[in-house]
Structure 1
Amino acid sequence: MRKRDPKIYRRLTRPLVRDSRDEPFRPATWDEALSRTAAGLRAARGAFGLFSCARATNEMNYVAQKFARVVMGTNNVDSCNRTCHAPSVAGLSAAFGSGGGTSSYAEVEETDLVVMWGSNARFAHPIFFQHVLRGIRNGARMYAVDPRRTSTAEWAEGWLGLNVGTDIPMAHAIGREIIRAGLANHAFIRRATTGFEEYRRLVEPWTLSLAEKVTGVPASAIRELAHAYARAERAQLCWTLGITEHHNGTDNVRALINLSLLTGHVGRHGSGLQPLRGQNNVQGGGDMGAIPNRLPGFQDILDPDARTKFESAWDTVIEPHYGLNLTEMFEAMEEGTLKAVYCIGENPAQSEADSEQAVRRLGALDFLVVQDIFLTRTAELADVVLPATAGWAETEGTTTNSERRVQRVRAAVTPPGEAREDIDILRDLAARLGHEWKYTGSEAVWDELRSLSPDHYGMTYARLEEEQGIQWPCPDPHRLEPTYLHGRLWADDPAERGRRAPFGLVRHDPPVDLTDETYPIRLTTGRRLDSYNTGVQSGGFASPLRRGEYVELCPEDAERYGVVVGEEVQVSSRRGSVRAPVWIDTALRPGLAFMTMHFPDDVDTNRLTIEANCPIAGTAEFKASAIRIDRLPVATVGS
């Protein structure tokens, strides 16, 4: 493997600029760096986009989206939520009107059944998985639905190893079986939902035998899960990127939500829907409005009353239309209509599908400014690099986790060199572009947010300290709401019950990148326990668990291709090729391979993945690429 360049793991301590794209970076003063940034952005007004950061604080995300909307006059603002859980937000919003997970972590400890669908939570969400284990010790049963027999599945009572991209047939077959067996909660369906008859007709063709043929899961196992979920008094349905990172990710989420509507497993303590977020503030970034279609507090930009409120508070005019999401911004780069990007704490040059194309598009921008703590691959393409503080340990503020819990974070160490807090950088840059913001610290930002977001109004810093975190919604400074959402669906009074939750009428749509004789293996990607996303924050440290990237194959496929552990092979898709050593994993079935994006400086896995996007959420199909494995000539191995 190619040796990793250690410079990306060095903290940024001074601003960097370059005088042309052909020249290397040189250190600069903050005054020069901010002046260059202001000039570059001023020239790009009307053709600008901002990538906000899911690892930074709520306060930073609030100021970043305000910068885009007030200073640059655009709703083109998004974050890595687009890469992972935008389908969850879209699906939950369509069903219930809000995009947050419906339950608390503690409820997983007090439930009767946990379904982990498309989620290796033990590796990808180890803190949440501790709550799952407590639930199991308290008597809960667990089922795992995943193409791989992951370490999470090892704790499950049953593992349903479905074929990649067949989640909707599986969900529809479970729904049909629940209806056929007379286990549907018809009282709840009549009370709180719409579209049941249409849903019933939709799932009717998905018999257990047909589902077995399509998904590869035995009909008996599908029936067992259907009955267990429907008969449980309380049940939690949890998912992550195995559901969302598909070209039909929003439809996948809607198919799972349908099961909760069919059984009434939502809106009650212990029963709910949990999209597990992979970074510390993915939920908070969206809550703060760092997305193209919502203002802070998930208030719709198309709502004139919401716009008027923010326009009055910000002394500005907000464009009355949705901005471009992350995927659409990359498409606009290709078209030449997006000419400048302000990238804060994200690394899309390595995290985007078809990464070679992403690098080309970023490199063709008229102006790129990156604000980060390390010199990432994206930062290496920039015109200006601004050194920021880490979103934890060096920064004051708040973050919001998967259960919608807002928690305080505090500065514990002094940032290195000349690194500055994100909100201070944004404030000073706004001033250079004609907007004086009088923020004296993170609490002032938070109080402004609270005044505009009813869901956060009751959360003062003092109260967050006292309660050790509070879940939204919290509109009253003297009262806490239930830990679960949508209890209104169980109200006796139809007026209190409010908007009914519609069943999602979604249909099976197989993966875009089909396997064939040339590309016979299905590649799916994910996370490992000891590493983190594109490896920038975790890659500089030796791990006793895994050193570098591998292509994981099952024993049968390794034998078929005549390869052994540690042998370097060429892995190719219709978009590109990489070299990677082989690892043999009995968790995989024949025809399925697994890789991560944790070590892109050794193996750039996203050169293989396909930019086939969910039309509703814009999330790419990272989980279903077609590849082939080729042995290397002996003379080239290790070269």
Structure 2
Amino acid sequence: MFGSGAMTNSINEISKADVIFIIGSNTSQQHPIIGNRVVEAVEKNGAKLIIADPRSIPLTSIASVHAKLNPGSNTAFINAMMNVIISEGLENKEFIKNRTEDYEEFKVSVEKYTPEKVSKITGVDADDIREMARAYANAKNATVLYAMGITQHTTGTKNVRALANLAMLCGQIGKESSGINPLRGQNNVQGACDMAALPNCLPGYQSLTEEKVIEKFETKWGKDFGNKVGLTLTEMMDKAAHGEMKGLYIVGENPMISDPDLNHIKKALESLDFLVVQDIFLSETAKFADVVLPASSYLEKDGTFTNTERRVQRVRQAIQPVGNSKPDWIILKELIKAFGYEADYSSPADIFEEISSLVPSYGGITYDRLEKGGLQWPCPDINHPGTKYLHKGEFSRGLGKFIINDYEEPFDVASEEYPFILTTGRLAQHYHTGTMTRRSWALDREIPYGKLDINPKDAEKLGIRNNAKLKISSPKGEILCKANICDSVNPGVVFMPFHFSESPVNTLINSKNLDAITKIPDYKVCAVSLEEVK
């Protein structure tokens, strides 16, 4: 239903919501502009903030309720909220009747997720589940904000579908200050997805099997353009590790820090016959490359970014490319020409004109219009103002479909050998794999190395001192880091950021624990053991 993974609503609408439900997102630290809108909603406009997250995060200090749920229990928790809403008659019957289908089967599926039963799964008090469900259902306008704490699970797809069910159940979709709003972690993730940096669609999320779509792209790109379903990142690395993929071209990605099971990634990269890396710095991954193509930063090129609220915005060149670097579009154009195809583009504007002609949701967006400010897709024609929020009146598929999402226990569970559950994430001071921020002396001075958050009760039981050197082990490997004793995590749960090559926590993550549909790894639930290194 929300196939593009985009925010259904706009950032500024958040400050006008009556209830904000944040789940699996450390919003104020990872999306500070959006975090400011949340604070504004609560402190200036009296909104009620409810949060479900395994950790205490800065925003929990202004939340009405914080459900400190066990990692990997999101589906059960959301189903329990819907159980309360239905059992207390708080569902939006008119919306369900007029705009959805398959409700009755879904309704039966959540009957077993009572707050008392789910409390045992999630570790959240049953009354807190009830309070959050009532707040969301009774709100005039309620918005859901989520991030990778929802998607980076073996049940990530179920988690997102459960949130979609929740929004439809209460009619909190297709209107202002409501909706399902995934928060993109980097400035042009949305734009990359829109342009088909995905294995299963063409630009604009157009079908790889629809004849009219294929014909349209053949007219532009020729009969032999690549229109087969490709591999996900985890699948590519598996193929490379087993010698079934011979070459790889990596652009602006650093899998030697960001991917699961880094020993497996190292084997995959070393097994390739030919590796090309295109980046602005010599990253940990680029060191494995046969050829490194030096790219330019955003300051050195023209183009557009599409942000998390679907807003297409101009990027304007401020300085000339440094050294031998070139903008990505020029590198790709020259490479395409070297392969014998005439890439007849003289500027990013030419490329964007082609995008507008092929992608219906970008059809009315032009560089001339963007000079006056950003536009939100869908924007199908030149007179269209852009779309502030999605699904007004009807869903893109017609009726919204309720989908049954039963809770599945995570693949990794605590055991005698690995008694702690590790969950990973980011810090406010650093950006993704640290390729840029670790090179900023001011930011690296603030947080120069990774620490493991551990509850005081666990630290006392193990005799671990604050700042002590730890060895963290999983079946996939081990790393060293320092201990940070704090009560932001519950006993039995530990947390560590993944930015630091000196303590690459993704070494510990199992690359086989994947969501069955998206193939996204389970970065949020990993069984580990801890040992102080004297």
TM-score > 0.5 by shorter chain: yes
Please give the residue correspondences for 1:488-637 in structure 2 after superposition, counting only pairs within 5 Å. 488-489=393-394, 499-540=398-439, 541-543=441-443, 545-600=446-501, 602-611=502-511, 612-632=513-533, 634=534
Q: Match for 1:317 among 216, 224, 230?
A: 224
User: Could you tell me whether the CA contact under 8 Å between 1:142 and 1:156 is conserved in 2?
Assistant: yes
Q: Match for 1:475 among 352, 355, 380?
A: 380
Counterpart in 2 of 1:6? Answer: none
Secondary structure class of the residue paired with 2:293: strand
State the 1:525 CA deviation.
0.3
Q: Distance in 1 between the 2:234 and 2:166 partners?
A: 30
Q: Distance in 1 between the 2:368 and 2:150 partners?
A: 38
Q: Distance in 1 between the 2:8 and 2:419 partners?
A: 39
Q: Distance in 2 between the 1:158 and 1:251 partners?
A: 24
User: Could you tell me whether the CA contact under 8 Å between 1:235 and 1:272 is conserved in 2?
Assistant: yes
Counterpart in 2 of 1:408? Answer: 314
Counterpart in 2 of 1:221? Answer: 128
Deviations 1:75-122 (A, max 9, x none): xxxxxxxxxxxxxxxx622xxxx4322100111011111001011011
Asked if 1:487 is matched to 2:392, the reply is yes
Counterpart in 1 of 2:359? Answer: 453
1:234 maps to a residue whose letter is N
2:415 maps to a residue whose letter is D
Mark the runs of 5 or more structure 1 residues left unpaired by the alignment: 1-90, 491-496, 635-639
2:370 maps to a residue whose letter is L
Q: Distance in 1 between the 2:448 and 2:456 partners?
A: 21
Asked if 1:423 is matched to 2:329, the reply is yes
User: Could you tell me whether the CA contact under 8 Å between 2:5 and 2:182 is conserved in 1?
Assistant: no
Residues 130 and 430 of structure 1: CA distance in aligned 2, closer, same or farther (over 3 Å): same
User: Could you tell me whether the CA contact under 8 Å between 1:236 and 1:273 is conserved in 2?
Assistant: yes
Q: Match for 1:142 among 34, 49, 60?
A: 49
Counterpart in 1 of 2:86? Answer: 179
Q: Distance in 2 between the 1:336 and 1:598 partners?
A: 29
Please give the residue correspondences for 1:294-373 in structure 2 after superposition, counting only pairs within 5 Å. 294-373=201-280
Q: Distance in 2 between the 1:576 and 1:328 partners?
A: 21
Which stretch shifts more, 315-324 or 283-292? 315-324
Mark the runs of 5 or more structure 2 residues left unpaired by the alignment: none
1:153 maps to a residue whose letter is T
Q: Distance in 2 between the 1:598 and 1:498 partners?
A: 39
1:470 maps to a residue whose letter is L
Q: Distance in 1 between the 2:472 and 2:178 partners?
A: 43
Secondary structure class of the residue paired with 2:21: strand
Q: Distance in 1 between the 2:327 and 2:34 partners?
A: 29
Deviations 1:110-157 (A, max 9, x none): 111100101101111111111212222222111110001111222211
Counterpart in 2 of 1:83? Answer: none
Counterpart in 1 of 2:296? Answer: 389
Q: Distance in 1 between the 2:71 and 2:371 partners?
A: 44
1:440 maps to a residue whose letter is S
Q: Distance in 1 between the 2:507 and 2:235 partners?
A: 19
Deviations 1:292-336 (A, max 9, x none): 111111111111111110011112324553111212211221332
2:293 maps to a residue whose letter is L
Counterpart in 2 of 1:252? Answer: 159
Q: Distance in 1 between the 2:478 and 2:228 partners?
A: 40
Deviations 1:556-591 (A, max 9, x none): 111111111211011111111111111112211101
Q: Match for 1:439 among 345, 354, 357?
A: 345
User: Could you tell me whether the CA contact under 8 Å between 1:109 and 1:138 is conserved in 2?
Assistant: yes
User: Could you tell me whether the CA contact under 8 Å between 2:241 and 2:267 is conserved in 1?
Assistant: no
Counterpart in 1 of 2:100? Answer: 193
2:248 maps to a residue whose letter is V
Q: Distance in 2 between the 1:412 and 1:482 partners?
A: 30
Higher-RCO chain (CA-CA 8 Å, sequence separation at least 6): 1
User: Could you tell me whether the CA contact under 8 Å between 1:610 and 1:620 is conserved in 2?
Assistant: yes
State the 1:498 CA deviation.
5.9
Deviations 1:323-373 (A, max 9, x none): 112122112213322110111110112211111101110111010001111
Asked if 1:92 is matched to 2:8, the reply is no
Deviations 1:485-525 (A, max 9, x none): 011329xxxxxx86211112111111111210111111000
Q: Distance in 2 between the 1:542 and 1:168 partners?
A: 40
Q: Distance in 2 between the 1:231 and 1:589 partners?
A: 30
Q: Distance in 1 between the 2:402 and 2:237 partners?
A: 33
Q: Distance in 1 between the 2:2 and 2:486 partners?
A: 35
User: Could you tell me whether the CA contact under 8 Å between 2:377 and 2:387 is conserved in 1?
Assistant: no
Q: Distance in 1 between the 2:197 and 2:507 partners?
A: 27
Secondary structure class of the residue paired with 1:300: coil
User: Could you tell me whether the CA contact under 8 Å between 1:551 and 1:583 is conserved in 2?
Assistant: yes
User: Could you tell me whether the CA contact under 8 Å between 1:535 and 1:599 is conserved in 2?
Assistant: yes
Counterpart in 2 of 1:157? Answer: 64
Secondary structure class of the residue paired with 2:470: strand
Secondary structure class of the residue paired with 1:312: helix
Q: Distance in 2 between the 1:413 and 1:509 partners?
A: 52
Q: Distance in 2 between the 1:424 and 1:231 partners?
A: 53
Counterpart in 1 of 2:18? Answer: 112
Secondary structure class of the residue paired with 1:290: coil
State the 1:261 CA deviation.
0.8
User: Could you tell me whether the CA contact under 8 Å between 1:103 and 1:483 is conserved in 2?
Assistant: yes
User: Could you tell me whether the CA contact under 8 Å between 2:455 and 2:493 is conserved in 1?
Assistant: yes
Counterpart in 2 of 1:204? Answer: 111
Q: Distance in 1 between the 2:62 and 2:341 partners?
A: 55
1:631 maps to a residue whose letter is E
Q: Distance in 1 between the 2:226 and 2:104 partners?
A: 40
Secondary structure class of the residue paired with 2:446: coil
1:119 maps to a residue whose letter is S
Q: Distance in 2 between the 1:621 and 1:233 partners?
A: 35
State the 1:532 CA deviation.
1.1
Deviations 1:577-631 (A, max 9, x none): 111111112211101101011111x101111112111111110000000011112
User: Could you tell me whether the CA contact under 8 Å between 1:488 and 1:498 is conserved in 2?
Assistant: no
Q: Give me the CA root mean square deviation.
A: 1.3
Q: Distance in 2 between the 1:152 and 1:289 partners?
A: 34
TM-score by length of 1: 0.81
Overall identity of the aligned pairs, in %: 39
Deviation above 6 Å: which 4+ runs of structure 1? none
User: Could you tell me whether the CA contact under 8 Å between 1:397 and 1:408 is conserved in 2?
Assistant: yes
Secondary structure class of the residue paired with 1:142: strand
